[in-house]
Amino acid sequence: MEQRYYQPEIETMPVEQLKKLQSEKLVKQVQHVYDNVPYYRNLMDEKGITPADIKGIEDLHKLPFLTKADLREAYPTGLLAVPQKDCVRIHSTSGTTGRRVVAFYTQHDVDLWEDCCARAIVAAGCSNEDVCQVAYGYGLFTGGSGLHGGSHKVGCLTLPMSSGNTERQIQFMMDLNATLLCCTPSYAAYLAESLKEQGYKPEDNKLKAGIFGAEPWTEEMRRNIQDALGIKAYDIYGLTETSGPGVAFECSQQNGMHINEDHFYAEIIDPDTGEVLPEGSKGELVFTSLDKEAFPLLRYRTRDICVLSRKPCACGRTHIRMSKPMGRSDDMLIIRGVNVFPSQIETVLLKEGYSPNYQIVLDRVNNNDTFDVNVELNPDQFSDTVGGVTKQEKALAAAMKTMLGINPTVHLVSPKSIVRSEGKAVRVIDKRKLIDSNQWKG
Ligand code: DLL
């Protein structure tokens, strides 16, 4: 019989029991963080709170929020809650050198993270009889390692492909009869297109499911990928700060992602006031990691805007569901799966002696993000040959690649030619339409 859950006793635990478990874990976690992280202890002292004030989840709201700015300030080890010798791994977000977020893991942390990914794989209908092609990037990015570890736990045959090299992906997918594909949704769509170009029909592959995440994607994109590959496509969510993929995942109902609530407690807040909003409200998602040892974050503001629902799910899981992220409460962009802040572009421009008047234009062509940056030249920067301009554009694109990890196409344009709207610069034009406009009903 098909296995429905990876850890049934946890995934279907009655809500009251789950809340009790969360409270017990939170009390311990607050003490652990207070005792071992001076940065966090200071934040609590400033608010006049001690671990004794936190008796359960109902007291969580008393704790201060933690933001990406805190994580950057504490770079690289300021939030480490165990001796470094007890850690076995790091991962890191993309971003400016020296300001990246570095997440540390003990073996226990890796285990619980891989369990979360294993739950997602089983929820996608897979077992130890499956062949799991992991085409997320391996390395500092969490996607590859997370799904790889989950695949091992379930006992799938794991194909550690990493991202890119489409020819090889297709060869291994077909020759080794991959049944589960894990990658970003845009890469899944790109692979589907490439398969079609090579003359393969959807029924020619053995795939039955895909686990896609790390960037926004719409229901329309889901339908396209499902039809093009002949599979069921499941969403998966997570962020480096909380471990990586698997914080939440979709089940057979494909209607919101179950949050692994025994490890991550979710709140929705008003991003402007910080007020905790009731279930069903749209707001910013905040996570508390209840039992991570090395890098436990209490009330971490994700900046992702979404809705939570505890309506019963036909799959039998009791864990709360989150909608797809519907936007961000900051200006972070996700381009080809990489997190990019417009301020990083500005930093490069100023460093390279250019004006900070620029505009980022994003679009999606053949399921690939296009990434153009228009930069106004200063009057004294004109090169009078076309070759000269092209050389300048290439050098600037290379400097941006070093900063961001992905390659933009740079266009140097004449001074004052970028349109200002009511005097304000419009920094980003995003034509990709990655977010569904319809409201999630839970
Ligand atoms: O993207 C972890 C991950 C890897 C998730 C593989 C799923 C699959 P970061 O690079 O730290 O971590 O980026 C985290 O990506 O705050 C969201 O804005 C966005 N994001 C992640 N998953 C989804 C998703 C990984 N399913 C940031 N839908 C998060 C929409 C997503 N956005």
What pLDDT, in 10s, does the model give residues 72-106?
Answer: 899 999 999 999 999 999 999 876 555 688 999 99
Query: How far, in Å, from the CA of 82 to the mean position of ligand 1?
Result: 26
Ligand 1 nearest-atom number relative to CA 240:
11
Ligand 1 nearest-atom number relative to CA 241:
11
Q: What integer pLDDT is reported at residue 3 of this predicted model?
A: 67
Residue bearing the CA closest to ligand 1, atom 12: 239
pLDDT band at 389 (very low <50, low <70, confident <90, very high): confident
State mean pLDDT over 281-297.
Answer: 97
- Cβ atoms 242, 287 nearer than 8 A: yes
Domain 334-426 listed as CATH 3.50.50.60: no
pLDDT band at 337 (very low <50, low <70, confident <90, very high): confident
The set of residues, in sequence order, having a beta carbon less than 8 Å from that of 84 and lying 6+ positions away, is 77, 104
State mean pLDDT over 384-390.
Answer: 80
Q: What integer pLDDT is reported at residue 387 of this predicted model?
A: 80
Q: Which of 212, 239, 330 to mutate to test the pocket of ligand 1 (most atoms within 8 A of CB)?
A: 239
Is the confidence at residue 2, as pLDDT, over 90? no
**Residue 99, SS3?**
coil
- List the one residue out of 408, 332, 337, 366 whose CA is nearest residue 162: 337
Query: How far, in Å, from the CA of 377 to the mean position of ligand 1?
Result: 35
- Which residues approach ligand 1 with their CB closer than 6 A? 93, 136, 142-143, 213-216, 235-240, 244-245, 302, 304, 324-325, 334, 339
Is the confidence at residue 116, as pLDDT, over 70? yes
State mean pLDDT over 29-33.
Answer: 98
> Which segment, 58-62, 66-70, 412-416, is predicted with the most confidence on average?
58-62
Q: What integer pLDDT is reported at residue 424 of this predicted model?
A: 66
Token pair 């905040």: residue:
286
Domain residue extents for the chain: 8-330, 334-426
Which tens digits make up the pLDDT trace of 140-187? Answer: 999 999 999 999 999 999 999 999 899 999 999 999 999 999 999 989
State mean pLDDT over 188-197.
Answer: 92
351 is written with which tokens? 């460093």
Residue bearing the CA closest to ligand 1, atom 13: 239
- Tell me the CATH architecture of domain 8-330: 3-Layer(aba) Sandwich (3.40)
pLDDT band at 309 (very low <50, low <70, confident <90, very high): very high
420 is written with which tokens? 């200002």
pLDDT, greater one: 135 or 423:
135
Ligand 1 nearest-atom number relative to CA 324:
28
Q: What integer pLDDT is reported at residue 97 of this predicted model?
A: 53
State mean pLDDT over 378-388.
Answer: 75
Query: How far, in Å, from the CA of 426 to the mean position of ligand 1?
Result: 25
The DSSP string of 265-323 is EEEEE-TTT-PBPPTT-EEEEEEEESS-SSS--SSEEEEEEEEEE-S--TT---S-EEP
pLDDT band at 232 (very low <50, low <70, confident <90, very high): very high
State mean pLDDT over 309-330.
Answer: 96
Ligand 1 nearest-atom number relative to CA 247:
5
Q: What integer pLDDT is reported at residue 439 of this predicted model?
A: 77
Q: Which of 331, 334, 338, 404 to mutate to test the pocket of ligand 1 (most atoms within 8 A of CB)?
A: 334
Residue bearing the CA closest to ligand 1, atom 23: 214
Is the confidence at residue 1, as pLDDT, over 60? no
Average pLDDT over the chain, rounded to an integer = 93
Tell me what percent of the residues of the chain surpass a pLDDT of 70: 96
- Cβ atoms 248, 239 nearer than 8 A: no
The set of residues, in sequence order, having a beta carbon less than 8 Å from that of 24 and lying 6+ positions away, is none
Residue bearing the CA closest to ligand 1, atom 15: 214
Query: How far, in Å, from the CA of 116 to the mean position of ligand 1?
Result: 15
The set of residues, in sequence order, having a beta carbon less than 8 Å from that of 252 and lying 6+ positions away, is 123, 125, 232, 314, 315
Ligand 1 nearest-atom number relative to CA 235:
26
Residue bearing the CA closest to ligand 1, atom 6: 143
State mean pLDDT over 284-312.
Answer: 97
Q: Which of 94, 237, 333, 406 to mutate to test the pocket of ligand 1 (most atoms within 8 A of CB)?
A: 237
Is the confidence at residue 252, as pLDDT, over 50? yes
Query: How far, in Å, from the CA of 350 to the mean position of ligand 1?
Result: 29
Q: What integer pLDDT is reported at residue 299 of this predicted model?
A: 98
pLDDT, greater one: 171 or 415:
171
Ligand 1 nearest-atom number relative to CA 328:
18
Is the confidence at residue 388, as pLDDT, over 80? yes
Q: Which of 304, 322, 341 to mutate to test the pocket of ligand 1 (most atoms within 8 A of CB)?
A: 304
Is the confidence at residue 293, as pLDDT, over 90? yes
390 is written with which tokens? 């092209």
306 is written with which tokens? 């979404």
Residue bearing the CA closest to ligand 1, atom 30: 216
pLDDT, greater one: 435 or 323:
323
28-37, 226-235, 290-299, 363-372: lowest mean pLDDT where? 363-372
Query: How far, in Å, from the CA of 1 to the mean position of ligand 1?
Result: 33
Residue bearing the CA closest to ligand 1, atom 4: 143
Query: How far, in Å, from the CA of 215 to the mean position of ligand 1?
Result: 5
Query: How far, in Å, from the CA of 305 to the mean position of ligand 1?
Result: 13
